[in-house]
Structures are given as structure tokens and as C-alpha cells.
Structure 1
Amino acid sequence: MSDPLRPRASLRTAVVWEVLKDALERRVKAAGRDALDVLDTGGGTGNFAVPVARLGHRVTVVDPSPNALFALERRAAEAGVEDRVRAVQGDAHGLFDVVERSGYDAVLCHGVLEYVDDPAEGVRQVVDALRPAGTLSLLAAGLGGAVLARALAGHFTEARHALTDPAGSWGEGDPVPRRFTAAQLTDLVAATGLTVGAVHGVRVFADLVPGVLVDTEPGAMDALLKLEAAAAEQPAFHSVATQLHVLAERD
């Protein structure tokens, strides 16, 4: 996934980025500080961490891949925010071996729950990193989007497998081991005591529209971005989104 501020990549990230920016702005006002401490778990090469640092916040990125963290540091340096981005090797299971418990105003948990053995424990871990009144941004693969995509590609058996599989996987070749419904994600978050503020469907249309149409049709990209934004908060579209985003707060 590319930088959320780049136009082409924004088809996949714009909804989450706009929601996240607004949430951080609200947290700044509530905290009475110009800069927040933000934890990005599984943040990899800094797709969100670097833009968040550009806003002036201090970001700690925890990721198991040394190569991804090296790319993060290079990316942060190129953006001129290396002093506000800290790269730490680790994973969700041993999170507090490498970062402080209750030490962050906001935690990003994007693309992590799909790969952990116990999603409930994974959510509890990241929530425990929040300070009082902290904000959680949770992004995970959506079940309905995968079923729809496999069916439209003519892989009907795989689509049915994903629909009936407890983990939402469409088979042995599936690169994503686990997917979620909106209800499953909100239940996981609510179980930690956080209050769910909003749920968004992400990439409702972007993954289904031919890339050549977006790249060559005048105004198509902007129109598609506006359509994604309009559909994101509509519950009817959550069931067919490629990803689901949950924003929650600790009261």
C-alpha cells in the first residue's frame, strides 16, 4: 500500500486517512497539546506513519520485518520527519516487550488482526497501549468483499468457501488467513471497553473497477473517490467492502 497522500493510492486509503486525520485533530484539541504520541502496530514501511508524522505527531512503528523498518526509516528521512518516527522490531504478541503500556494517545492497528492467532487478544493488546481517552483506528479485511470479488472473477467454489469458512478464507492459496464482518470487529472492540464511534467500508468499489477506466477516463478518479467516501459510512455497503475500518475511543 502506498502513501495515502499520493492520488493513485488514495483510491485505497482516502477514507481511512480522512477519518484518521479528523480523529487526531479532535484528540489534539482534547489533550491540549500540539503533538500526540501515536503507535502504529504492523506499520511496515510507514504508509500511515509518515503522513501522521507530517502532521507533527510522534509516531512509533512496531513491525516484525527489519526490511520494512529499514524502508520506513528511509521514507521518513526523505519526508523530513525522521526525528518524529521511531522504528521498533516486534509484533502484537510481545507488544509490551518493546513499547510502553498506556503510553499512547492513538493506536493504529491496520492489517494486523488478519494474521494473529487470537484476534480478541490482539485487540486487547493494542487497546492496553492507549492512554485514558485514547483513540483506536482498526482496519481489517472484510469478508463480504472477498466473497464478491471471487464470485465476480468466476471462482464460485472459492467464494462459497470463504462465505462458510469460520475464518473467511477462500482456500489454501488465499494470502489472507482471516477476514471479518463489521459486527465481528465492533464486538471485538466493544469487549475491551472502548466505545465504537464509527464503522467505515473501505474499498467498496475501488477493487472492482478496472484500473484502465480510472487511469484513462477524465475525472474518473476524483468521481470514484467521492463515491467511496459517500458509501463508506452506509451500513448497506459494509457487507461488500474489501476492508472495514472501526474508530473507537476510550472514555
Structure 2
Amino acid sequence: MSRPSASLRNAVVWEVLRGGLDERVKSTGRDSLDVLDTGGGTGNFAVPVARLGHRVTVVDPSPNALFALERRAAEAGVADRVRGVQGDAHGLFDVAERGASDVVLFHGVLEYVDDPADALRNAVAALRPEGGVLSLLAAGLGGAVLARALAGHFTEARQALSAPDGRWGEGDPMPRRFTAEQLTGLVADTGLRIAAIHGVRVFADLVPGALVDTEPDALDALARLEAAASELPAFQSVATQLHVLAEVPAADG
């Protein structure tokens, strides 16, 4: 069964992230920010961020992903603002500088690392001391439980619901999932101030692509529905992903 496009699935994250970038530009008085994209792969977010005029360093363990990033940045005309380096979250400061980034993107990383709290602390340590912004995206538990149940895999849904790592079985390709409370707790423990939390892909992963393709204005309507539901805790609890925007508090805050 086909699903709505990746651009729709990422729309909520992009809108929140762009707002965070704009606020950081205003607070610094600089038009161009230094952005670190840890686990940024082929540049799904790095290239659009660079198109806004910012300088982006992508850290990823995959040479193939970094090669694709280089090609993608060149095709978008932003090769001079995107730099790819091979590395990972735990060894982040082998390839990146502490306290030098206005914004850190930490998307799709916590699910895969051995120690999420340690990896997140590294991401936070890469931020500038005051006002730096973290964009954190991770797999949500509720979305997986709902998806398995709707597919008729009720035992797997119950397993995911009760497992500490949120996995539905040995065949589950996702190493770890989070509830909103777990994710915001990890962020709060680093000392960051949580500015916003959103549910991502609340409906997009459940709606057949054929419905979006055949109904007039369905794509726009679905995008508006996703945006409206993303801020409501009831729908965050069943989202496929959870997005947290947080910032380094001011010294007097």
C-alpha cells in the first residue's frame, strides 16, 4: 500500500525547525547560522537548511550517505554551504567542535545508539552556550502499537506496548522507541528548556496513498490535519515520530 509523500510526512518537522531557525537568526542578529546535523545522512534537512543561507555540517557514519549528500548539495546549488564528515554521535567531538553550533539537528539517532542519554548530551554540548537550539526527532511508541494493531498483529502490538524498548518482536527493524514523556525527560535532564513538542506522521502513515492521489485537495487537507493534530497530546501519543524543539536557557534564566 502506498503512502503519502515524504514531504508531507516531514512537513510538521520542517515548519517547526524553520521557526526555530528564524528565532535564532533574530536573537543573534546574524543572517547565517552554524548548523550541525548529526546523523543527517543524504541531507533531507541539511540541504533545505542550506538553501535558507545557513552553513551546515553533516556528521554521519555512512560514506555512501555522505557521497549522496555531496551530490544532492551540488544539484541544489548549496555545495559551498554543506560539509559532510564521517562520524557518529558518541564520537561527535572527534569531528565537530564543542559549543560552536547555533542549531543541532538530532533526527533519527536516539533509536539506534547504545546509550541515548550519552548521545544526547553530546548533541547538547555542541550547542553555543546561550540560546542554541536543538531539534530532536525520534520514533514514537504509540504509532508502532497502533500500526501493528491495525494490521491485525495484536500480540506484537501488546509486546511493543509493554517492552522497555518499545519493540514488537525479534523482526522489528527499530531498535528503540520513545513515549513523549521519555523523550522530554531525556531532554530536560540535559538542562535544555523545551520550547515545543509535536507528534509527526499521526495520520500520514495510516492513510492509503490512493486516497490522497484521487481526492481533490486531499493532500493539502491531510497536511492541515497533521499540523492541527501535531500539537495535541492525545494525538502525540499515537504519532509515528515525536519532535522536540529545545534551547539552551539564558544565563539568568
Q: 1:96 matched to which residue of 2?
A: 93
Runs of 4+ in 1 over 4 A off after TM superposition: none
Q: Which runs of 5+ in 2 are unaligned?
A: none
Q: For 1:103-130, what per-residue CA distance to the aligned partner results, in whole angstroms no more than 9, with x for missing partners?
A: 1000000000000111111110100000
* Equivalent residue number for residue 3 of structure 1: none
- TM-score, with normalisation over the residues of structure 2? 0.96
Percent identity (aligned): 80
Q: What's the offset of the Cα at 1:69?
A: 0.3
What's the CA shift for 1:215? Answer: 1.5
Kindly provide the CA deviation profile for residues 129-183 of structure 1, in whole angstroms up to 9, marking residues without a partner as x: 0002100000000000000000000011110110011000111111111000000
Q: Which residue of 4, 9, 13 corresponds with 2:6?
A: 9
Choose the corresponding residue for 2:20, options 20, 23, 29. Answer: 23
- Measure, in 2, the Cα distance between the counterparts of 1:206 and 1:212: 12
Residues 1:68 and 2:65 aligned together = yes
What residue is the counterpart of 1:136 in the other structure?
A: 134
Aligned twin of 2:83: 86
2:128 alignment partner AA: R
Other-structure match for 2:247 = 249
Residue identity in the other structure for 2:38? T
Which structure 1 segments of 5+ residues have no match?
Answer: 1-6
Say whether 1:41 aligns with 2:34: no
> Which structure ranks higher in relative contact order (CA pairs < 8 Å, sequence separation ≥ 6)?
2
RMSD over aligned CA atoms reads 0.8
Structure 1, 65-74 or 209-218: larger mean CA deviation: 209-218
Amino acid paired to 2:108? G
Give the secondary structure class of the aligned counterpart of 1:200.
strand
Q: Distance in 2 between matches of 1:91 and 1:216?
A: 42
Letter in 1 for 2:21: L
Deviation of 1:66 (Å): 0.3
Using the TM superposition, give the Cα deviation of residue 8 of structure 1 relative to its aligned residue in structure 2, in angstroms.
3.0
Secondary structure of 2:160's counterpart equals helix
**Pick aligned residue for 1:184 from 164, 182, 185:** 182
State the shift of 1:10 in Å: 2.0
